[in-house]
C-alpha cells in the first residue's frame, strides 16, 4: 500500500517522539546530563556527545520503522530533518540559552517552577513537598518536541 505524505509524517513523528524520550532519558549518561550546561568546552563537549548519541538513537529507530513500515525516506530529508533537530537540541541543552528564551518570552516564573529558589514547602500555597518536575524541564521537552515536529515535516516532505 503506498504511503501518503501524511501517513509518512505520522510514522516519522511517532518514531522521533519515542526515540527522543528514550535517547534523552536512557541513552544520555548522567555525566553528560550534569556537564552539558557547564561553561566552556567541558559543557560543549558533553552536550555534543549527548546530541550525537541521541541523534544516532533517532536514526536507528527511524531505520527500523522505515524497514518495517516500508517507508520511503530520502537521505536529504533525513540529513536536513535530523540536522535541524540535533542543532536545536544542542542549543537548548546548553541551558543558559533556554533560560534566555524563557526570559525573553516572559516565561521566567514558569521556568523556575519546582526549583528550590521558587517553591518550598509552605502552608499558604498548599505545597507539601518538592515537585516531581520543574518548569525548566517542561519547557526543555516542549522545545524539543516542537523541533521533532519540524524534523518530521522535513523528513516526510523530501
Note down pLDDT in tens along the chain; length 158 residues: 678 999 999 999 999 999 999 999 999 999 999 999 999 999 999 999 999 999 999 999 999 999 999 999 999 999 999 999 999 999 999 989 999 999 999 999 888 887 765 444 444 444 444 545 688 899 999 999 999 999 999 999 99
pTM: 0.86
Tell me the helices (H) and strands (E) count for the chain, helix number first.
Answer: 7, 0
- Where residue 135 falls (left for φ over 0; alpha for ψ -120 to 50; beta otherwise) is alpha
State residue 127's pLDDT score: 45
Amino acid at each position: 500500500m503506498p504511503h501518503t505524505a501524511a501517513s509518512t509524517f505520522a510514522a516519522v513523528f511517532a518514531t522521533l517522539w519515542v526515540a527522543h524520550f528514550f535517547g534523552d532519558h536512557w541513552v544520555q549518561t548522567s555525566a553528560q546530563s550534569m556537564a552539558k550546561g557547564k561553561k566552556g568546552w567541558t559543557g560543549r563537549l558533553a552536550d555534543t556527545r549527548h546530541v550525537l548519541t541521541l541523534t544516532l538513537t533517532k536514526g536507528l529507530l527511524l531505520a527500523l520503522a522505515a524497514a518495517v513500515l516500508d517507508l520511503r525516506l530520502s537521505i536529504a530529508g533525513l540529513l536536513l530533518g535530523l540536522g535541524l533537530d540535533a542543532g536545536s537540541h544542542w542549543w537548548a541543552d546548553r541551558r543558559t540559552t533556554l533560560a534566555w528564551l524563557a526570559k525573553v518570552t516572559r516565561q521566567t516564573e514558569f521556568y523556575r517552577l519546582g526549583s528550590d529558589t521558587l517553591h518550598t514547602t509552605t502552608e499558604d500555597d498548599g505545597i507539601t513537598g518538592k515537585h516531581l518536575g520543574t518548569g525548566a524541564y517542561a519547557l526543555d521537552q516542549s522545545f524539543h518536541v516542537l523541533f521533532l515536529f519540524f524534523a518530521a515535516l522535513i523528513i516526510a516532505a523530501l
